[in-house]
Chain A
Amino acid sequence: MPNIISLKNINKVYGQNTANPTQVLFDLSLSFEESTFNSIIGQSGSGKSTLLNILGTLDKATSGDVIINNKNTQQMSKNELSSLRNESIGFIFQFHYLLPEFTALENVLMPYRISKKQITKEVQDRAEELLEIVGLTKVKNNLAINMSGGQQQRVAIARALINNPKIILADEPTGNLDSDSTEQVYELLREINKRYQTTFIIITHDRHIAEKADRIVEIKDGRIHLDISKA
């Protein structure tokens, strides 16, 4: 399988121009293959969230290259990066980050509307289908603010999928959910991975969850500590 996303010799230093710069990532190189289900684990402060933000082009590496879809993102303008994120990457954050002023359905459609394409019947149907997959058809017209944490997280998952992205980056997607909801959400993500061949990179601190992934990467002190792939 070809690589969908690769990091090459990534260094990340915070507060570079201050007296005490802190280096978080050290010469880190890592690649993920298409359609795989990966997890990144590590203690808090290990640099895993920074790694994910750099993978998602939300943060810039101090040095090194991020290659997505065979394109080096380090030289891209802010607008090019925005378009790349919009088309190729779906994000699921620990704090679901829905737009509270909009309904579940509107939130799901938002990445599509940001791409400035006309809302067609197909897209509308797809949004409803995604909401059905995450089990929220009944509450699709509720404002995000009037939904439970678990429901909001599932809306965020549907939203991450609307533009058919090749990659989904998730940072502790079940961090604030109870264990039942956590189980449901993971099964959902696995199902989507099978169904749409979407590449998943998921940060978690829960080893039990991480073990369900095809590959586990452990980050420790800004370096790769372990990299295990299931046969």
Chain B
Amino acid sequence: MRLAIQIAWRFLSSAKRQTLVIILGISVGVSVQVFIGSLISGLQESLVDSTIGSSSHITVLSNNEDNLFISDYQAIMDDIDSNNDQITVLSPAVDLGGILEKGELKKEVFFRGFNFTEANQIYKFDDKLTEGSSMPDALNEIILGKTLQTDLDLSIGDTIDIEINGAYRTLTVVGFFDFNVAVINKTWGIGTLETLQDVIGSNQVTSIEMQIKEVFDAEALALTLDENLSSNDLVTKNWMTENQELLSGLSGQSISSLMIQVFVIISVVLGISSVLAITVMQKSKQIGILKAMGIQDRDASLVFLSEGFILGIFGAIGGVLLGLGLSYSFTTFALNPDGTPVVPLNIDGGFIFLSGMIALVASTLASLIPAIKSSKLTVIEVIRNA
């Protein structure tokens, strides 16, 4: 074994240029794999995050069309929380449609009442408030979307009248928000849970929203919640069933990324295999003399397996470095106007290690054919063809 590795090392180091070219070939393959993998997984992460990062993953709603309210919501929340360790945020909300009036103008608005300690963890309102705005924290305060602001020509401190289910109230506008989503900016009006409960004259809520750790477990978790909640006349909806197109887009992306990686590996394997096959021809004289001196066929094959292994190690290391360098320059030089990278890469140590290992295994496997060839070579063939 040691002899085989030493011979392999000497063979490789005596043909430095050829060796470097093979290592470079493997490195480029590995770096493409590392880069594409990081790019696609970063893309997907940022896409998922921007789609559902600031929204409810699973929402509990009433199943009764005549009564949209959840009466004993605190008990239900405690029950959900104590039975599921996946859940990161549980937030009750009162959601009701109504009319907003400012002078002669009237707009249909979706009024939402939150407990901001919890709701802020889901919606991150602090990042979305426009300049000078503050969060509503007292009774009869409200914040509105920035589209509604321009439509009604409002400014902070103005008062507006609202009507929900026949109940009227005058509220003070304390701020405006920008969710980067047209519908929300145009129709949402947000106040405290107490304000909305006060308007409808009830201390119930209409939904319980939650976020969970593993976003892709939402559908499964929603199903188990459904089983436990059905007795209370409640149902759930989750982001996965409502975003089927996004999901199929993501899985399409994953498959194409995998395909690219598989073909890169195949081309690397074919490359190494053919170069090493030529090396066996080049070194047939040496193999012949080693066999005349009594080297066992197994050890003669080991020489070429070792060559594949050594090339694999250097190729993998070179490829990971090259891939990381490529990723680094991509995130450093391809920037949005605000300085954030166009595509945030997801550098995953486990994935990079795996890519390196795959390259190592692939190069060793690629040397299998040359190794078999060298084990079959006989001294007499070499002597006769000298």
- Interface magnitude class on chain A: 20 to 34
Q: Is the CB of A58 within 8 A of B294?
A: no
Please name all residues of chain A whose beta carbon is closer than 8 Å to the beta carbon of B296 when the two chains form the complex.
Answer: 79, 82-83
> Please, how many angstroms separate the alpha-carbon atoms of A116 and B3 in the complex?
8
- Nearest to B295 among chain A residues (CB) is A114
- Nearest to A50 among chain B residues (CB) is B380
Q: Is the CB of B383 within 8 A of A58?
A: yes
CB of A99 within 8 A of chain B? yes
Q: Is the CB of A86 within 8 A of B294?
A: yes
> Please, how many angstroms separate the alpha-carbon atoms of A83 and B292 in the complex?
10
CB of A97 within 8 A of chain B? yes
> Please, how many angstroms separate the alpha-carbon atoms of A64 and B255 in the complex?
64
The digit string for B198-217, where 1 denotes a CB below 8 A from any CB of A, is: 00000000000000000000
Q: Is the CB of B286 within 8 A of A115?
A: no
Q: Is the CB of B3 within 8 A of A114?
A: yes
Of the candidates B10, B292, B297, the one whose C-beta lies within 8 Å of that of A58 is B292
| Shortest beta-carbon distance from B118 to chain A in Å | 71
Please name all residues of chain B whose beta carbon is closer than 8 Å to the beta carbon of A115 when the two chains form the complex.
Answer: 294
Of the candidates B285, B294, B378, the one whose C-beta lies within 8 Å of that of A114 is B294
The digit string for B78-94, where 1 denotes a CB below 8 A from any CB of A, is: 00000000000000000
Q: How many residues of B contact A (CB 8 A)?
A: 24
- Nearest to B3 among chain A residues (CB) is A113
The residue among B10, B14, B291, B294 with the most chain A CB atoms within 10 A of its own CB is: B294
Q: Is the CB of A111 within 8 A of B293?
A: yes
Q: Is the CB of B289 within 8 A of A97?
A: yes
Q: Is the CB of B294 within 8 A of A82?
A: yes
| Shortest beta-carbon distance from A162 to chain B in Å | 10
CB of B288 within 8 A of chain A? yes
User: Given the interface contacts A95-B386, A101-B10, A113-B3, does A87 sit within 8 Å of B294 by beta carbon?
Assistant: yes
Please name all residues of chain A whose beta carbon is closer than 8 Å to the beta carbon of B293 when the two chains form the complex.
Answer: 85-86, 91, 110-111, 114, 159
> Please, how many angstroms separate the alpha-carbon atoms of A98 and B14 in the complex?
15
10 contacts between A and B (CB under 8 A): A58-B292, A58-B378, A79-B296, A82-B294, A91-B293, A99-B286, A99-B289, A110-B290, A111-B293, A113-B3
